[in-house]
Structure 1
């Protein structure tokens, strides 16, 4: 559990708090081999696709065109890429930079995400947030997965409130009037990490110094997904469950039909050996960790046909 122990200082606390209450871990040590300000700098100048870049200021999302790279009028230049210089200018103007799906764009994060996925059994999704001093990025919101906010550089104040609805399954705008008083108000510093169960409303503001943190979200399997899968299995086994509902001109007893189909489904579920229900097909496969960047010198002197 080495990777998880870089996000929490006590696995037992994580187990007892999972999906129920937030907590802060301290003294986690250096994180520069996974993510840093230098790595973020490298990424913004590496022709990131615009789908991986977002900017916020005071809770409002900024138009992506502000950081779009000018690629001329060549019709082949169709892919929209981010301009690192324009990104830096927006951050200098008070905008928060968000780099999304870093497990697909950053080898260091990719390797870490793969390890976290292996240790947790959940798909790991990583996003970085860079915010200048005395600024707010995203407005108060909640996530649909449990997340770990690992502070990498500077500090950020987080105010966390209880969920408006526990264990939400779809994204909704947060109504400020429905949000209660914070259950946690903390300034996160380098080497610390905040765990937030899904649904907990949170908002972050920088102090007099800037902030860079990596958000690691763990996407698990809900019982809803399991039951949907079992229902699909039942429809394959029982043709009655594949029938369409009776037409409007039919004089059939609809209530009796509903009861019959519910009994069929109930018998199907009661006969299942739950210890043999496979969960792996319900998981989204975690991309394999990206290999280290090869050098051109190594590539040029690599014998043809030899495995790297």
Structure 2
């Protein structure tokens, strides 16, 4: 499936950040209509619920607006000589049948489809994001009116759910809390979300939701953009990593003129470093730090390696992403350093790699000049396994239609 973009969820980003972000709710009816097949589904929830190693911390069940103790849906299992708690799927189903809402936290930890949903938000907001799945029985309230400490982007996937959202308070402290309907008055948004609809709820905004005449499954992408205090702490932390701040002072109780003088000196040094800071570069660094997240940028390595084994002689290859240092030749072999590996390859192979520096391609059969086709193909596969070479997108002539090009897999 095509990847999602931030625009798919919020529309024009400039309008979103100017008029809605951190200010008021936004409803996007049909924003993902016809594009839900790649998202986590009820069937996938059954599959991950059946995992023997699912920690109970990922799962939460609520009934009547209150949390169900985890002991009601867990069991003790033996893992070698140790005992551990695991989710009991049958007990979860029983609670769901009796009106419990099942919540699966950090779904991106187990499903690639949830990571694909999270990534556009982490990229646009330069912070990490969490995908939470909510499955609610028909004709059941999910949670009583409450506020969250994070911004939430709701994507309705299955069934329908009626949402009530109240006005976003002007002053918020980023905490959680609950309300009675009498405290809130009339909502500013009351809508029934259908599959493909998207709803944005800023942090601290009171809201509540209830499933209608069928099971409802929705996904919430929760994000907590870094506040100014977090960003400035990050900047100062980076500056004081300098050796000038590595000493161990002794700050005694009471008045200590030496300690005060030393602290004054370090604060003055920090002030000077802040004054000389390249602010534009620091802003780029903070964005990069915010976007860095585990699992987001990893390739499908097993699929890539499987594709390497099926490279054909006619497949065209090019230099891969792994940096290569080509050293000196000795006794017909050239030293090669690639991805932390030290290799010695025939001089002709080193020459072939140099020839590909300009971005040109060559067929696998012709990569290693002057040797039989099978040996050239073997050399290509060996270098492709460690990322020095990669196949050009598109299957070679005569290849099976099911063959997966290495370069395509690497970019997924």
In structure 2, distance between residues paired with 1:34 and 1:64: 27
In structure 1, C-alpha distance between the alignment counterparts of 2:275 and 2:183, rounded to whole Å: 41
What is the CA–CA distance in structure 2 between the aligned matches of 1:146 and 1:183, rounded to whole Å? Answer: 17
Q: Retained in 1: the 8 A contact 2:4–2:117?
A: no
Indicate if the aligned counterparts of 2:168 and 2:202 stay in contact, CA closer than 8 A: no
Q: 1:58 aligns with which of 64, 68, 74?
A: 64
* CA distance in 1 between partners of 2:104 and 2:298 (Å): 17
Written as runs of structure 1 = structure 2, the 5 A alignment for 1:78-89 is: 78-89=83-94
Q: Aligned in 2, Cα 1:284/1:76: closer, same or farther, shift over 3 Å?
A: farther
How many angstroms does 1:199 deviate by? 1.9
Give the C-alpha shift of residue 152 in structure 1: 0.6
* TM-score, normalised by the number of residues in structure 1: 0.79
Q: 1:184 and 1:207 mapped to 2: Cα distance? A: 17
Match of 1:204 in 2: 209
Q: In 2, Cα distance between the equivalents of 1:179 and 1:290? A: 47
Deviations 1:216-247 (Å, cap 9, x if unpaired)? 123433211121123335655676x9866662
* Pairwise CA distance, 1:168: 3.1
Which shifted more, 213-222 or 94-103? 213-222
User: What per-residue deviation string (whole Å, max 9, x for no partner) do you get for residues 42-66 of structure 1?
Assistant: 2212332212111011211101112
Name 1:3's counterpart in structure 2.
Answer: 5
2:16 matched residue in structure 1: 14
| Mean CA deviation greater in 275-284 or 229-238 | 229-238
Are residues 135 and 274 of structure 1, via their aligned partners in 2, closer, same or farther at CA, if it must alter by over 3 Å? Answer: same
SS in 2 for 1:79: strand
In structure 2, C-alpha distance between the alignment counterparts of 1:2 and 1:282, rounded to whole Å = 19
Moved more, 277-286 or 83-92: 277-286
Offset, 1:162 = 3.3
Task: Say which is worse superposed, 191-200 or 32-41, in terms of deviation.
Answer: 32-41
Q: How does 1:102-141 map to 2 (within 5 A)?
A: 102-118=107-123, 120-141=125-146
Change over 3 Å in CA distance of 1:107–1:292 after alignment to 2: farther
Contact kept? 1:225, 1:282, Cα under 8 Å: no
Residues 175 and 37 of structure 1, relative CA distance in 2, 3 Å threshold:
closer
Distance change in 2, residues 1:235/1:116 (3 Å): closer
Q: 1:242 to 1:49 in 2, by over 3 A?
A: same
Deviation at 1:293, TM superposition (A): 12
Structure 1 residues 114, 231: CA separation in 2 closer, same or farther (over 3 Å shift)?
Answer: closer
Change (3 A) 1:226 1:9: closer
**Residues of 2 paired with 1:245 and 1:165: CA distance?**
42
- How many residues are matched? 302
Distance 1:12 1:283, change over 3 A: closer
Moved over 4 A (4+): 175-179, 233-239, 241-246, 255-268, 289-295, 305-308
Whether the 8 Å CA contact 2:131–2:220 is kept in 1: the answer is yes
Change over 3 Å in CA distance of 1:23–1:115 after alignment to 2? closer
Q: Which runs of 5+ in 1 are unaligned?
A: none
Alpha-carbon offset, residue 137 of structure 1: 2.6
Instruction: Assess if the C-alpha contact under 8 Å between 2:4 and 2:116 holds in 1.
Output: no
Per the alignment, residue 162 of structure 1 pairs with 167
Which sections of structure 2, spanning at least 5 residues, go unmatched? Answer: 311-381, 386-405, 407-412
Q: 1:126 & 1:259 partners in 2: Cα distance?
A: 46
In the alignment, the residues of structure 1 paired with residue 82 and residue 301 of structure 2 have an alpha-carbon distance, to the nearest angstrom, of: 25
Between Structure 1 and Structure 2, whose CA radius of gyration is higher?
2
Mapped partners of 1:20, 1:199: distance in 2: 10
The CA distance in 2 between the partners of 1:11 and 1:152, in whole Å, is 23
**Greater RCO between the two (CA within 8 Å, min separation 6)?**
1
